[in-house]
Structure 1
Amino acid sequence: MTHAPVQSPPLAPPPAPQAPAARTGYPGFHHGVSLLHGWVPQVVAFAAVLLLVIAFARFTRRWWLLWMPVCAVAGVAVAWAAWIFTNNQGLASDPAPVLLWSCVGLTAAGLVAAVVGLRTGGWWQRIAAILAVPAALLHTGVVLNQWVGYYPTVQAAWDALNADPLPHQVDIDALGGLRNTDMGTGRIVEVNIPESGSDFRHRREYVYLPPAWFAGDKPPTLPTIMMIGGEFNTPADWVRSGQIMPVVDDFAAKNNGQTPVLVFVDSGGSFNNDTECVNGPRGDAADHLTKDVPDYMESTFGVAGDASAWAVVGWSMGGTCAVDLAVMHPDQFGTFVDIAGDLGPTAGTKEQTITRLYGGNADAWAQFDPLTVMRMHGPYTDVVGLFDDLTAPKHNSGQQKMNFPGMPKVTEDRIGKGGRDGVMDTNEEGAAETLCDEGRKVGIDCTVHTTVGGHTWQFASSAFTSSFPWLTARLGIPVAGLSS
């Protein structure tokens, strides 16, 4: 069952049928005990503050004149150092809330109080001082999670901690026994993609196979969407933190089991390795994504190999990767969705980026800079992109604020808590408009959809939910109720 490519939807389409409101939010995000709001964050905060107050409440002159100032200085110093390091490394697109740095500082101060206070105060104060440190660390983690929306529920955090199987996950060896059966829902398999075209050490990745993949005696030739997460990621983040599978399952059920295959890739190799999907000292991530992954998907799952049947979707750092991969490899990726990405691969300032990502090679920076790549490449043919951005649009004659068919507008009340201080990373602010404007000059058909909200996984999930029907149609699979 090979799907022929369809023509790109027009940029100003007639209104398309919208999914019911209950289907356009965050299925799964509000199931279970929330870590983003409600009683759990409040209880953790109360316990941490109470234990810290007890730990600091020593009624001796020496404590207040000597050790209390030492605790305060240590707390301020650690909070300041953490803030400087985060900014210097370009680790956040939105500035973190002040509460996060306060929690970091109080944790450090509590640790000093626990160490120096072991010989002062009552036994209950000593126990409180010791317990205050893990309590403050836990509270810091909760605040950090509220900022980025990484784990929406206690269950999601527990599943990730214990590396529990993903929804509908099966062993790859079991796929043969499921062929030509009525699956009801798709299946996720964990895969170990060989480093056939790169030298990039990576973690195990995941592939979602829709119900249509199991129909018939052999797999149909389906299109593929490459899914890339943000910085500090795991290949399972779109499933665990983004919780997109209920949306995909619901869509498949309404579309005769037909969706693209999804491959959740590893762009970092480890949780704290920010490659920005380029080749460099941090690993040849670009080669892995453009050589290893497509070859494996075609040979193992029989997916289509032409560019019209491949899309790349990325969130945050992954959004930057999506644009970069599409403009550098239009022969492989004909469609991209950039969700709150930067202007280009970044690891701090331009000078810091050249040093950190490219080992000081400015020519390598230019090879992976999407603006430079587009200008050098010249006219593109049948490359289409969507930018879902968090910044205010820059209205001009060449830029429009619109949606592709079937894309419900993302509203503020659907976005989780996050660093909403109105200040964006310099490489992200206006990036979508700039990239789309430059892309149009060289024949890339693109649009920018802007939304007010936080740089969180909840926003990423909503943006994917909105774009998935259009993506499916764009890749050649007919979508019920969606005009083309």
Structure 2
Amino acid sequence: MNSLFSAFSPLDISLIDAPVLGTLYAVTGLTLLLVLLGPTGVRRAVITVIGAVVGAFGGWALAWFITDVWDPWGVSFSTGTGLWTAALGASLAVVVLNLSGQVRWRRGVAVGAIGLCLLSAAAGINADVGEFPTLRVALGLASYPPLDPALATAQARAAQTPAVHPDPANVANNTASNESGVVGTVTIPATSSGFVSRDALVYLPPAARRANPPALPVVEMLSGQPGSPSDVFTSGRLAGILDTYARAHSGLAPIVVVPDQLGAPGRNPMCVDSALGSSASYLTVDVPVWIRSHLHVTAQPSGWTIAGFSQGGTCSIQLGAAHPELYSTILDIAGELVPKNGSEAHTVQSGFGGSASLYAAAAPSAILAAQQPYAELGAIFVVGDDDIRFLPGVHAVADAAQRAGVVTHLFESPGTAHDWRTVDYAWTTALPIIAARTALLAPTVIATTR
């Protein structure tokens, strides 16, 4: 994909797939084995086993303390992350208990084993959550260039015309099957809202880049908090998912626009208009106006989707449910039961001027109940089946959507928690549904899971 890396380098080797991880785990295991093959005896063996058990318990307790007591991120660790922390505690205990009585070179191996154990645990946890798919992303070196205005503004001349179902055969004649989409940054001015935002990112599929492109569906996608629009493409690897889909469908995929609903990584305006900023107006007025005037997209709401992960997922159901005249489809990936900015008291005061009634009315379930019955709205909810903190809330909002007459799909991502693995699963699972609902392809019957 030429939007991020023009040539391969070691910085782009995957940190979450088998080759690198398998090699690291094998080297760590062999190093631990060398440590254990030193001076042995019944007493040392018993102490080592007891130490490993105590270390594992200590690691698990540390994970529990961080996620359930300290709670700096507002999410619970997955089972996999807890197990990796326990494994780290056990392995460090084994190494430390076998340092004494070793010859010099074995002590050197033991010291090296400590570093390898730390590195293996960090790599395992990263693979579990999918935060840093490559070293380039981990080092903060991944960036996207400004989107070529010729790819954007030149396509907008017919954006207000009625949607025309693209002919796949015609698209295939103009789009190479192995061509990739392009991602670039754009500035979306807050003309109406005055909201202070960072640059947005735009993904244009191969079909959008050819001469006389079809009017394509558009997805307004929102990142989590803390975060930035680029997270959707770096940690979320969304461009790769869309490219894979486009290659299987003659270059067709939705255009995806990722605006900034936060203003800064640590801010959370909760996608409402308040003293924290007019985030809702920015997303539902300024961003759609910019999209319609700069991108060749389907004019009707039937071609528009709003999506998001975590805090962005909460925004997607809030705004999608409140504005069926703008969006026909919602993709809520592990969103919250209610908007949150710290404690409930702080949320009410900072985002709703101290009004408990305004806060209650901003809950997705309240918006759904107030706007029902819906005629055309559809919603896709996705949550990790190991996301113990968000799982009940997603189910509750999905139930509220179904009661309000929304065509509802609910999926649980197997073996994932509140992480980018869930986002990958969500997009891969939801794309065919979005394509059918937005007439990207010839409609097919999608069975609801509810």
Please give the alpha-carbon distance, in whole angstroms, between the structure 2 residues aligned to 1:355 and 1:138.
43
1:385 aligns with 2:374: no
Contact 2:218/2:303 (8 A) holds in 1: yes
| Paired position in structure 2 for 1:189 | 184
What is the TM-score of this pair, normalised by structure 2?
Answer: 0.68
Q: How far 1:178 moved relative to its partner?
A: 9.2
Alignment correspondent of 1:145: 126
Q: Deviations over 1:37-75 (max 9, x none)?
A: 7268659999xx9xxxxxxxxxxxxxxxxxxxxxxxxxx
What residue is the counterpart of 2:420 in the other structure? 457
Amino acid of the structure 2 residue aligned with 1:332:
L
Matched, 1:443 2:405: yes
| Secondary structure, counterpart of 1:269 in structure 2 | coil
Farther-moved stretch of structure 1 (180-189 vs 229-238):
180-189
Equivalent residue runs for 1:5-84 within 5 Å: 32-35=13-16, 38=21
Deviation at 1:187, TM superposition (A): 2.1
Offset of residue 334 of structure 1: 1.0
Say whether residues 1:212 and 2:207 are aligned partners: yes
For 1:209-288, list aligned pairs within 5 A.
209-217=204-212, 220-288=214-282
Q: Is the 8 A contact 1:189 1:208 kept in 2?
A: yes
* Superposition deviation, residue 298 in structure 1: 0.5
SS, match of residue 430 in structure 1? helix
- Tell me how far apart the structure 2 counterparts of residues 216 and 252 of structure 1 sit (CA, whole Å): 17
Residue 319 of structure 1 pairs with residue 320 of structure 2: no
Cα deviation, residue 384, structure 1? 0.6
Question: Is 2:275 the counterpart of 1:291?
Answer: no
Q: SS of the counterpart of 2:261?
A: coil
Offset of residue 249 of structure 1: 1.8
1:416-467 superposed Cα distances (whole Å, 9 cap, x missing partner)? xxxx5xx711xx2322332222222222111222243222212211221121
Deviation per CA, 1:162-204: give whole Å up to 9, x if none: 54445xx664234279989956433222101101122322221
CA distance in structure 1 between the aligned counterparts of 2:117 and 2:358, rounded to whole angstroms: 43
Contact 2:13 2:135 (8 Å CA) reproduced? no
Count residues in correspondence.
381
* 1:234-263 Cα shifts (integer Å, max 9, x gaps): 212222112232332232233232222111
Counterpart CA distance in 2 for 1:293 and 1:373 is 21
Does the CA-based 8 Å contact 1:86-1:92 persist in structure 2? Answer: no
TM-score normalised by length of structure 1 = 0.64
Residues 192/161 of structure 1: CA separation in 2 closer, same or farther (3 Å cut): farther
Q: Which residue of 2 aligns with 1:430?
A: 392
| Selected match of 2:366 from 372, 377, 389 | 372
For residue 158 of structure 1, the aligned residue among 124, 132, 136 is 136
| Other-structure match for 2:168 | none
Cα deviation per residue 1:58-95 (whole Å; 9 max; x = unaligned)? xxxxxxxxxxxxxxxxxxxx999965775376355769
Q: Distance in 2 between matches of 1:475 and 1:206?
A: 21
Query: SS of the residue aligned with 1:342?
Result: coil
Amino acid at match of 1:149: G
Indicate the SS of the match to 1:338. strand
Deviations 1:379-421 (A, max 9, x none): 1120011112334xxxxxxxxxxxxxxxxxxxxxxxxxxxx5x
Could you tell me whether the CA contact under 8 Å between 2:324 and 2:377 is conserved in 1? Answer: yes
Give the unaligned 5+ runs of structure 2: 1-11, 33-61, 90-110, 156-170
1:304-337 residue CA offsets vs partner (Å, 9 max, x unmatched): 3432111012222222222111111111111011
Closer/same/farther in 2, CA of residues 135 and 42 from structure 1, 3 Å limit: closer
Contact 1:178 1:214 in 2 (8 A): no
Percent identity over the alignment?
26
Q: SS of the residue aligned with 2:391?
A: coil
Q: CA 1:171–1:261 in structure 2 vs 1: closer, same or farther (change >3 Å)?
A: closer
Cα distance in 2 between the residues matched to 1:135 and 1:268: 38
Gaps in structure 1 of 5+ consecutive residues: 1-30, 50-77, 106-128, 392-419
Q: Conserved in 2, the CA contact under 8 Å of 1:79 and 1:101?
A: yes
Secondary structure in 1 matching 2:330: strand
2:71 is paired with a residue whose SS is: helix
Q: Closer, same or farther in 2 for the Cα pair 1:388/1:171, shift >3 Å?
A: closer
User: RMSD value over aligned CA atoms?
Assistant: 4.5
CA distance in 2, matches of 1:322, 1:238: 15
| Separation (CA, whole Å) in 2 of partners of 1:358 and 1:96 | 38
| Higher relative contact order (CA closer than 8 Å, sequence separation 6+) | 1
Counterpart residue number, 1:19: none
Residue from 420, 429, 439 that aligns with 1:466: 429
Q: 2:272, 2:351 within 8 Å by CA — same for their partners in 1?
A: yes
